[in-house]
């Protein structure tokens, strides 16, 4: 680490970025206590977080069948025909297991969603999707004309009304279709387009990306109980007992569903948690105050790929203004918000002076070349930011595990430990997203912090290892698993 005797701002910043870690494991456990309390409270009242889905069972890994899967994101539509094979004689974790248990993605294609497509009227937009699916089925040949179920991973807000339906809400990311169909049933728009295009398809499962990640990995590893999306944003899903969710949160659900449900998958919207729990720096405060909705997503601003590079820029900008970097000169482009991305921050974190200098010059024009001391200081800031993010994510995941574990004890209901898989020695946490997959230290640091929390927690419960496991192609695979898992179940959709 560089010397900061002449750099009081950078020294103070680094101290604030490492404040929680400096308290040791007991500080992390205290933060976890606070998060668990907040999770419990939001399970009772919040309309924005800890949202119960209609998925009331996780796959056992023995399901078989074929389904069409669709994954719509901000700029890409992906479609595949997925065949779940018979259980393979393999230990059910990792890539080897994935290939053995999910026989194949028999056909898979992706299309960019252009601005012109995003502006199509709703009817034409769903017809465009149906035509893409028709191309896949025609290419496959053997499936053309067959009645099939479609699983949909919809990476936009939707208010679920059954396992396969939900009310359309604001889509964002340039999509305009929602303006004319907000509040209507998403499934009905898909199914109508399929009829117009002569496809024997019907939506059999509708979910968001966290639910898809949980289902896809639970199929390959039945010890999976939590999923994590850690990329541009952050979110998580967890499997919890139904009896700990307030009736107000559940709303009016069919008696047939309620009577058959012991536990349910929860979309935590965990990005909204952490305010007043996780320490923040001056740069974090500036970022939040300049955001469109201050205080709305504290954890996301502290941990996600969208914001880490911006926090780094704010630290760099303030240090330069105070004469602690670049001999006090501030490049004009450094004043531009979000002009420094998280991938570039990661390059600085992992690089030597040559790579650091190359990365900085790709972004900004400097009057004076950054000195070795400048670059050493920036590497320390980058490492502190990524280490803090990994620690905060680990505390969050550990807290979700505690929530699931503590509500699954026999004193609440004798059957719940078995229902929730609380008898296994390991809990798998399925992950996907660019930060988890591409940042060179994030995942390792997060796993190390999880191991430490498990080891030092004072508890009478058996210690279970929490293991982060990658969930490949989770948007498509989870959608297909959902469609096949719910196949044959009675679907009761309330009137909208």
**Per-residue model confidence (pLDDT) at position 318:** 97
What does 262-311 look like in DSSP terms, one character per residue?
SEEEEE--GGG--TTTS---HHHHHHHHTSSSTTS-HHHHHHSHHHHHHH
DSSP-derived pairing of the beta strands 263-267 and 51-52 = antiparallel
**Per-residue model confidence (pLDDT) at position 90:** 36
The arrangement of strands across the sheet holding 51-52 comes to 51-52, 263-267, 234-241, 224-230, 426-432, 465-470
Question: Rounded mean pLDDT of 175-186?
Answer: 95
**Per-residue model confidence (pLDDT) at position 103:** 44
Question: Rounded mean pLDDT of 284-293?
Answer: 94
* CB of 491 closer than 8 Å to CB of 164: yes
**Per-residue model confidence (pLDDT) at position 370:** 96
What does 188-200 look like in DSSP terms, one character per residue?
HHHHHHHHHTT--
Q: 209-248 pLDDT, tens per residue?
A: 999 999 999 998 989 999 999 999 999 999 999 988 988 8
Q: Which residue has the higher pLDDT, 59 or 143?
A: 59
**Per-residue model confidence (pLDDT) at position 408:** 63
d(CA 313, CA 445): 23
Nearest to 173 by CA among 113, 109, 111: 113
Q: What share of the chain is helix, strand, coil (3-state, %, to 5)?
A: 50, 15, 35
**Per-residue model confidence (pLDDT) at position 191:** 96
The arrangement of strands across the sheet holding 104-112 comes to 104-112, 76-84, 65-72, 148-154, 201-207
**Per-residue model confidence (pLDDT) at position 46:** 85
Q: Residue 146: CB partners within 8 Å, gap ≥ 6?
A: 200
| 3-class secondary-structure state, position 409 | coil
| 3-class secondary-structure state, position 73 | coil
Q: 21-66 pLDDT, tens per residue?
A: 999 999 999 999 999 999 999 999 888 899 999 999 999 888 889 9
Query: Among 59-68, 142-151, 191-200, 453-462, which stretch is predicted with the lowest mean pLDDT?
Result: 142-151
d(CA 135, CA 113): 16
* CB of 482 closer than 8 Å to CB of 166: no
**Per-residue model confidence (pLDDT) at position 487:** 82
| 3-class secondary-structure state, position 312 | helix
Q: 305-319 pLDDT, tens per residue?
A: 999 999 999 999 999
**Per-residue model confidence (pLDDT) at position 494:** 43
Task: Determine whether 312 is exposed, middle or buried from the number of CB atoms within 10 Å of its CB (0-12, 13-18, 19+).
Answer: buried
**Per-residue model confidence (pLDDT) at position 188:** 97
The structure tokens listed for 450 are 């999880």
Q: Note every long-range contact of 85-92, with CB atoms under 8 Å and residues 24 or more positions apart, other chains counting.
A: 87/61, 87/62, 92/61, 92/220, 92/221, 92/222
* CB of 479 closer than 8 Å to CB of 152: yes
Task: Determine whether 113 is exposed, middle or buried from the number of CB atoms within 10 Å of its CB (0-12, 13-18, 19+).
Answer: buried
- Average per-residue pLDDT for the chain: 89
Q: How many CB atoms lie within 10 A of CB 488?
A: 10
Query: How distant, in Å, are the alpha carbons of 43, 70, 86, 135, 302 from that of 111?
Result: 38, 11, 31, 12, 32
Cα atoms in the Cβ-side hemisphere of radius 13 Å centred on 26: 1
Q: How many CB atoms lie within 10 A of CB 162?
A: 22
What band does 288 get if pLDDT is binned at 50, 70 and 90? very high
Query: Among 129-143, 180-194, 221-235, 279-293, which stretch is predicted with the lowest mean pLDDT?
Result: 129-143
**Per-residue model confidence (pLDDT) at position 146:** 78
- Residue that has been written with the tokens 């430990």 in this structure: 417
d(CA 252, CA 244): 16
* CB of 420 closer than 8 Å to CB of 404: yes
* CB of 230 closer than 8 Å to CB of 303: yes
For residue 402, pLDDT beyond 60: yes
In the chain, % of residues over pLDDT 70: 89
**Per-residue model confidence (pLDDT) at position 85:** 77
What band does 157 get if pLDDT is binned at 50, 70 and 90? confident
Helix-helix angle 372-406:353-363, to 10 degrees: 90
**Per-residue model confidence (pLDDT) at position 4:** 66
Query: How distant, in Å, are the alpha carbons of 78, 132, 173 from that of 109?
Result: 6, 9, 21
Question: Rounded mean pLDDT of 240-269?
Answer: 91
d(CA 110, CA 106): 14
Helix-helix angle 372-406:305-321, to 10 degrees: 140
Q: 428-447 pLDDT, tens per residue?
A: 999 999 999 999 999 999 99
Query: Among 48-52, 128-132, 333-337, 396-400, which stretch is predicted with the lowest mean pLDDT?
Result: 48-52
* CB of 269 closer than 8 Å to CB of 51: yes
């Amino acid at each position: 680490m560089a010397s900061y005797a002449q750099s009081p701002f950078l020294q103070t910043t680094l101290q604030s970025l490492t404040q929680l870690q400096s308290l040791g494991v007991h500080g992390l456990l205290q933060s976890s206590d606070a998060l668990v309390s907040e999770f419990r409270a939001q399970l009772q009242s919040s309309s924005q977080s800890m949202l119960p889905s209609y998925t009331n069972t996780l796959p056992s890994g023995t399901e078989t069948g074929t389904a069409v899967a669709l994954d719509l994101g901000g700029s890409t539509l992906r479609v595949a025909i997925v065949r779940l094979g018979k259980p393979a004689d393999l230990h059910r974790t990792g890539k080897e297991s994935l290939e053995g248990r999910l026989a194949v993605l028999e056909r898979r294609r992706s299309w960019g969603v252009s601005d012109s497509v995003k502006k199509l009227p709703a009817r034409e937009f769903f017809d465009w999707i149906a035509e893409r699916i028709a191309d896949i089925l025609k290419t496959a040949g053997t499936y053309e004309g067959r009645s099939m179920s479609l699983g949909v991973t919809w990476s936009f807000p939707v208010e679920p009304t059954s396992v396969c339906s939900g009310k359309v809400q604001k889509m964002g990311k340039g999509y305009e279709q929602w303006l004319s169909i907000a509040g209507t049933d998403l499934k009905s728009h898909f199914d109508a387009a399929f009829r117009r295009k002569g496809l024997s398809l019907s939506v059999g499962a509708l979910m968001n990306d966290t639910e898809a990640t949980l289902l896809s990995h639970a199929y390959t590893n039945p010890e999976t109980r939590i999923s994590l999306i850690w990329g541009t944003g952050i979110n998580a899903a967890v499997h919890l007992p139904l009896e700990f969710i307030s009736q107000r949160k559940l709303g009016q659900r069919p008696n047939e569903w309620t009577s058959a449900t012991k536990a349910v998958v929860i979309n935590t919207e965990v990005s909204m948690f952490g305010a007043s729990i996780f320490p923040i720096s001056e740069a974090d405060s500036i970022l939040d105050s300049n955001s469109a909705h201050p205080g709305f997503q504290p954890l996301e601003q502290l941990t996600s790929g969208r914001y880490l590079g911006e926090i780094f820029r704010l630290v760099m900008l303030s240090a330069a203004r105070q004469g602690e970097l670049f001999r006090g000169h501030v490049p004009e482009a450094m004043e531009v918000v979000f002009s420094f991305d998280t991938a570039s921050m990661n390059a600085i974190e992992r690089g030597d002076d040559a790579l650091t200098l190359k990365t900085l010059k790709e972004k900004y024009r400097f009057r004076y070349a950054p000195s070795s001391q400048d670059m050493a200081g920036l590497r320390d800031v980058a490492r502190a930011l990524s280490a803090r993010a990994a620690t905060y994510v680990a505390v969050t995941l550990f807290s979700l595990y505690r929530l699931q574990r503590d509500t699954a004890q026999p004193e609440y209901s004798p059957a719940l430990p078995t229902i929730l898989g609380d008898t296994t020695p390991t809990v798998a946490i399925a992950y996907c997203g660019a930060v988890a997959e591409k940042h060179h230290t994030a995942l390792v640091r997060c796993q190390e912090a999880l191991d430490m929390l498990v080891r030092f927690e004072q508890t009478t419960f058996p210690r279970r290892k929490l293991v982060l496991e990658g969930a490949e192609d989770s948007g498509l695979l989870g959608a297909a698993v959902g469609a096949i898992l719910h196949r044959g179940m009675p679907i009761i959709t309330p009137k909208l």
